[in-house]
Structure 1
Amino acid sequence: MSARTQTTQTSSVTSPATSEAIVVEGFSKSYGSHHVVKRLSFSVHYGEVFALLGPNGAGKTTTVETLEGYRKADEGTLRILGLDPIQNAQILKPRLGVMLQQDGLYPALTAREVLTLFAGYFEQPRDVNELLELVGLTSAQKTRCRRLSGGQKRRLALAVALVGNPEIIFMDEPTAGMDPQARLATWEIIRDLKAHGVTILLTTHYMDEAERLADRIAIIDHGELIKLDTPANITGVQNANIVRFVAPAGLDCTHLASLPSASKAEEVRPGSYLLETREGQEVPQLVVEVTTWLRDQHITLSELRTGHGSLEDLFLRLTGSEVRD
């Protein structure tokens, strides 16, 4: 997969001096008695990479699909480029790129045929050969979609999202199923799109992806916004030093939190523990106390790391560690 930035031909987008590319105000959506999204509000700046994070069932996909015009809001206002996603769909669609989580590609068509088909929907599409090279599918261009690997299908879905030279791109789990090389190359494509002024709203379960790509991150849970800030500010909330370790699940966090140098102890997921130092205390001293306590309890330690709090740490604190359907 080629990640050469010079291959990205998206023209620079000129944005208005005042106003946002995406605006969500008081958005609510329910299915029967189930409230999926509750009074959600946020905005996305022109030329920004904005990450929408949340556990399964948090309302991310419903929000994105409503912005794309596939669902209708029960309450609230949504605007894309100042336009209503449903009422102004005919004007908006040519200006948007969509990379769905479920690719929905035509299984009997080849990769080249799919791109050629979608290119025909736009007045000034990108060159199909250039896109195939950009996403690393030149050698697989004659392969039918049903025979593409999961990662290849994701790369083809990315090419489809780019084919119309969009001003805004929605990416739902853009690198899911990709190998490490393709994932890094996709990151470079996203960075290059941003450099050309394209606005990107992405959802992802990869915390490192959000931290490295996003200008701002919104975390939602149970349909409500619980955090919105830059990656640095979000993780900077946890200004205490951190000790993480892996051991058998179910340890007594009350005892861990009572260690002299500890201010807090949590089992952020089964068998994975996180401790914060007290103000003025040093991490090495807390490490000594933790390992001594584990030894005295005859508990086997399989991994130990130190550092500052991560986005994943905060995400698990805010949304919980249980797995949801």
Structure 2
Amino acid sequence: MVVKVENLKKLYGKFEALKGISFEVEEGEVFSLLGPNGAGKTTTVEILIGLREKSEGKIYYFNKEMEKIDKKIKSVIGVSLQKTELFRELTVIETLKLFRSFYKDGYDPYEVLEKIELVEKEKERVKNLSGGQFQRLVVGLSFINDPKIIFLDEPTTGLDPQSRRKIWDIILEFKDKRKTIFLTTHYMEEAQFLSDRVCIIDNGEIIALDTPQKLIENSNLETIIEIDGVYEKFGKIIGNRTLVETNDPNSLIQKLIENKIENFTVRHPTLEDVFLKLTGKELRD
């Protein structure tokens, strides 16, 4: 067990941002924390890395209770937050060397440069990097100390699919090395593809925790028909789509055709469907 929290609470005045959540994160797994905006994901991460104080509860790292996240723990964790400010006038390699100097042990900056595929940008100033390049640099900084656990708080938000996939590759490489990844994300396919286990949180409470496949299997969801457009009489409206759950897809398809509705997809339920069923919201809400 790498990280464990018991009855973790966070209060801001009378508002309970976290209402007593408990979970464990095992060595070598990708553990994803999912929830709509305001659910408590970032608050949880910031408490675990020592940026915020908990109100109640217990935190354990490597089976040892931590009243505060001390320097010893901070030396073996890596962090990539949603918003990261860097020295914009420094070059990429200068930035890597600077962050490496903060730690006793870690990777050679040039090795990190290769892992994040920014060798050709070695002497480029940070301010001139594209969004995808900047985010790969931030992820590179999160593991430059060769941490035992890496916290990635929405590391691919706003990136193009190619840049996102490169970060996925980095995550999977570290998973292969038995590193532990604590991930929050706004992309459900990302969570389903990368995660060993998924913890769904809403309104400061955990409402589900299991492997992606078991969450889907235990949801009791039937066949999903996704219709392009808004058709309230058929199902639930999500943006400009209509989602219908059915155990008799053939009859429903016939009804759609009779109503001259032809733009629809028949599919098995996904983690996104489970999330929607449990929270009543899309992940980006």
Shift of 1:302: 7.0
Residue 252 in 1 paired to residue 232 in 2?
yes
Contact 2:58 2:66 in 1 (8 A): no
Shift of 1:177: 3.1
Q: Which residue of 2 aligns with 1:55?
A: 36
Contact 2:224 2:246 in 1 (8 A): yes
Q: Which residue of 1 aligns with 2:78?
A: 97
Residue 276 in 1 paired to residue 257 in 2?
no
Contact 1:152 1:178 in 2 (8 A): no
Q: Which residue of 2 aligns with 1:287?
A: 253
- TM-score scaled by length of structure 1: 0.82
Distance 1:185 1:320 in 2: 31
Q: Which residue of 1 aligns with 2:97?
A: 116
Distance 1:323 1:210 in 2: 11
Q: Which residue of 2 aligns with 1:320?
A: 280
What is the SS of the residue equivalent to 2:75? Answer: helix
Q: What amino acid is aligned across from residue 304 of structure 1 in structure 2? A: F
Q: Which residue of 2 aligns with 1:231?
A: 212
Shift of 1:182: 2.3
Distance 2:119 2:207 in 1: 43
Q: Cα 1:170–1:274, aligned 2, differ >3 Å: closer, same or farther?
A: same
Q: What amino acid is aligned across from residue 58 of structure 1 in structure 2? A: A
Q: Cα 1:173–1:302, aligned 2, differ >3 Å: closer, same or farther?
A: farther
RMSD: 1.9
Q: Which residue of 2 aligns with 1:266?
A: 236
Q: What amino acid is aligned across from residue 290 of structure 1 in structure 2? A: L
Distance 1:86 1:116 in 2: 32
Q: Which runs of 5+ in 1 are unaligned?
A: 1-19, 257-264, 296-300
Contact 1:247 1:302 in 2 (8 A): no
- TM-score scaled by length of structure 2: 0.93
Q: What amino acid is aligned across from residue 97 of structure 2 in structure 1? A: T
Aligned length: 284
Greater Cα shift, 57-66 or 235-244: 235-244
Greater Cα shift, 216-225 or 231-240: 231-240
Contact 2:186 2:284 in 1 (8 A): no
Q: Which residue of 1 aligns with 2:18?
A: 37
The one of 15, 27, 47 aligned to 1:46:
27
Distance 2:142 2:28 in 1: 17
The one of 171, 180, 185 aligned to 2:161:
180
Distance 1:88 1:323 in 2: 30
Distance 2:236 2:69 in 1: 48
Distance 2:98 2:152 in 1: 20
Contact 2:223 2:267 in 1 (8 A): yes
Contact 2:47 2:54 in 1 (8 A): yes
Shift of 1:86: 5.7
Contact 1:29 1:35 in 2 (8 A): yes
Shift of 1:26: 0.5
Contact 1:119 1:125 in 2 (8 A): yes
Contact 2:154 2:183 in 1 (8 A): yes
Contact 1:25 1:78 in 2 (8 A): yes
Cα-to-partner distance string for 1:291-312 (whole Å, 9 max, x where unaligned) = 32x33xxxxx473111111111
Q: Which runs of 5+ in 2 are unaligned?
A: none
Cα-to-partner distance string for 1:119-163 (whole Å, 9 max, x where unaligned) = 112222211112112112111122222222221111011110110
Q: What amino acid is aligned across from residue 284 of structure 1 in structure 2? A: N
Residue 21 in 1 paired to residue 2 in 2?
yes
Q: Which residue of 2 aligns with 1:78?
A: 59
Shift of 1:48: 0.8
Cα-to-partner distance string for 1:4-59 (whole Å, 9 max, x where unaligned) = xxxxxxxxxxxxxxxx1111111111112221111111111111100000011110
Q: Which residue of 2 aligns with 1:139?
A: 120
Greater Cα shift, 237-246 or 48-57: 237-246
Q: What amino acid is aligned across from residue 241 of structure 1 in structure 2? A: T
Distance 2:69 2:228 in 1: 52
Identity over the aligned pairs, expressed in percent?
40
Q: Cα 1:284–1:193, aligned 2, differ >3 Å: closer, same or farther?
A: same
Distance 1:304 1:169 in 2: 40
Q: Cα 1:286–1:302, aligned 2, differ >3 Å: closer, same or farther?
A: closer
Shift of 1:88: 4.8
Q: Which residue of 1 aligns with 2:267?
A: 307
Greater Cα shift, 221-230 or 177-186: 177-186
What is the SS of the residue equivalent to 2:254? Answer: helix
Cα-to-partner distance string for 1:100-121 (whole Å, 9 max, x where unaligned) = 1112212221111111011112
